[in-house]
Amino acid sequence: MLIPYELLVGWRYTRAGRATRRNGFISFISGVSMLGIALGVAALIIVLSVMNGFQKEVRDRMLSVVSHIEIFAPNGEAMPDVNQTIQEARQNPAVVGAAPFIATQALLARGDDMKGTIVRGIDPALEPQVTDVAAAEKNQGIKRLVPGGFGVVLGIELARSMGVREGDTVTLIAPSGQVTPAGVVPRLKQMTVVGTFDSGHYEYDSALVMVHMDDAARIFRLEGPTGVRLRLKDLHQAREVADELVHTLSGKLLIRDWTRQNRTWFSAVQLEKRMMFIILTLIVAVAAFNLVSTLVMTVTDKRADIAILRTLGASPRSIMGIFMVQGAMVGVIGTLAGLALGLGIAYNIDVIVPALERLFQASFLPRDVYLISRMPSDPQQADIMPIAIISLVLAFLATIYPSWRASRVNPAEALRYE
């Protein structure tokens, strides 16, 4: 197969041709442009992969505690007919699990230490159907909740902050008091810590308390569950299924899916991701347009070669093609190197970051700030393909003007002083 001479000459110019001082400098500039493109592409891939991984990790850990859909009565009241609501919800083919619950807030005290907590009354037999944290082997304390036992399961961070372990007693203080001859006094109940749970999500591990649903109803004087939690086959269909349940469930009920519960957080992550993409694309653009200076210097150095090619019959379009090939080669090699570097780091970031943390004796992700303690990464084709295409397009655009200048070189003028 014959290879066009434009490609051969352009590739030779990319490799700097003759070993002169000027060619060596041009080769150095080409290498810098290539390295800049590679680093820009790699930075884009790594940052977007980490942001994708961060979003996925927080979402998965959050959904290990939070159900896909919650159905509850207005004003925190007990639902009139929980069993009927569960049966109607299960008729939707997307629903694979349902469990009643009681949700309220209270104070948890041990000695002088007092914490505000979210109290969730659950049915230990049904809770594994709707949350992963109840089904996990490491969270066996949830199975020890029995009606009338007044046991409590604490998030692991909450237990650490209060200094309690399994078997210790804590005091649960209900927000609504009881009326006595001495006035309104808060309702207190001694609870026994029967276990802890670890969801990996700091917000819930530091504030959530689980008790048996019957005990929660007695402590907070409720007639029954305040809501039903649902698990779906596909968590991404939560909004559509919630809209369907609005029309199929009977009674005046409120329905909330996990996307609406955390809308602000997910919107902020998407906005940050778009802004980081724009900012880091400018790095690639700067590196790509360094090709302009590289090719202008190459055209100036190769004026005699261009004149000889023109006298041998090369057309201006062929001359333009030679230098476009040279610039395109730099863009392609830089982009491929950036893809290899970026994907290599993105797929091994769980090894690289801990090594750097040990080297510098620092923690890059404190759990109380970033909700998770390890650097996640999730490279997605939807991000990688646009990055590669944008890099190649910018490199191609940077070659147009210098290549056009090369095609306009006058052979007679170029050879006058040679």
**What are the pLDDT digits (tens) for 155-167?**
888 888 888 888 8
The tokens describing 56, both together, are 């996925």
Residue with tokens 């602000």: 264
Instruction: Identify the top-confidence range among 29-33, 51-55, 76-80, 184-188.
Output: 51-55
- Range from 194-208, 261-275, 380-394 carrying the lowest mean pLDDT: 261-275
Asked whether residue 47 is assigned to any structural domain, the reply reads yes
**Domain stop point among 195, 219, 252:** 252
Using CA of residue 208, residue 212, residue 215, residue 216, what is the dihedral sign?
Answer: positive
**Percentage of residues of the chain with pLDDT beyond 70:** 86
pLDDT tens per residue across span 89-104: 888 888 888 888 888 8
**Co-location of 384 and 328 in the same domain:** yes
Asked whether residue 40 falls in the same domain as residue 172, the answer is: no
257 lies in some domain: no
Q: In the listed set 201, 227, 252, which residue is the last one of a domain according to the structure? A: 252
Lowest-pLDDT choice from 53-57, 143-147, 265-269: 265-269
- Answer yes or no: do 18 and 54 share one domain: yes
pLDDT at site 126: 86
284, 314: one domain? yes
Show which of 224, 252, 280 is a domain's final residue: 252
Q: Give the least confident one: 192-196, 269-273, 277-281, 367-371.
A: 367-371
Q: Please tell me whether residues 366 and 332 are part of one structural domain.
A: yes
In a shared domain, residues 29 and 151: no
Average pLDDT over residues 338-363: 85
**Tokens 């930075």 identify what position?**
43
Token digits of residue 248: 């199929």
pLDDT digits (tens, 9 = 90+) for 251-302: 788 888 888 777 777 777 778 888 888 888 888 888 777 778 777 777 777 7
Residues with Cβ within 8 Å of residue 285, at least 6 apart in sequence: 394
Residue 341 — very low, low, confident or very high, per pLDDT cuts 50/70/90?
very high
CA distance 140 to 121: 16
Whether the CB-CB separation of 121 and 212 falls below 8 Å is answered with yes
pLDDT classification of 332: cutoffs 50, 70, 90: confident
Say what the pTM is.
Answer: 0.70
Mean pLDDT of 22-35: 68
Q: What total of structural domains would you count in the chain? A: 2
Q: Which residues contact 102 (CB under 8 A, 6 or more apart)?
A: 119, 120, 121, 122, 213, 216, 217, 220, 222, 225, 226, 227
The DSSP string of 133-171 is HHH-TT-GGGGG--TTS-EEEEEHHHHHHHT--TT-EEE
Q: For residues 215 and 146, is the Cβ–Cβ distance under 8 A?
A: no
Same domain, 284 and 216: no
Does residue 101 share a domain with residue 246?
A: yes
Neighbouring-strand partners of residue 102: 121
Q: Are residues 78 and 39 in the same domain?
A: no
- Mention every residue, 6+ apart, whose C-beta is less than 8 A from residue 174: 106, 186, 187, 188, 189, 219, 220
158 vs 195: CA distance, rounded Å: 12
Q: Which domain holds residue 118?
A: 74-252
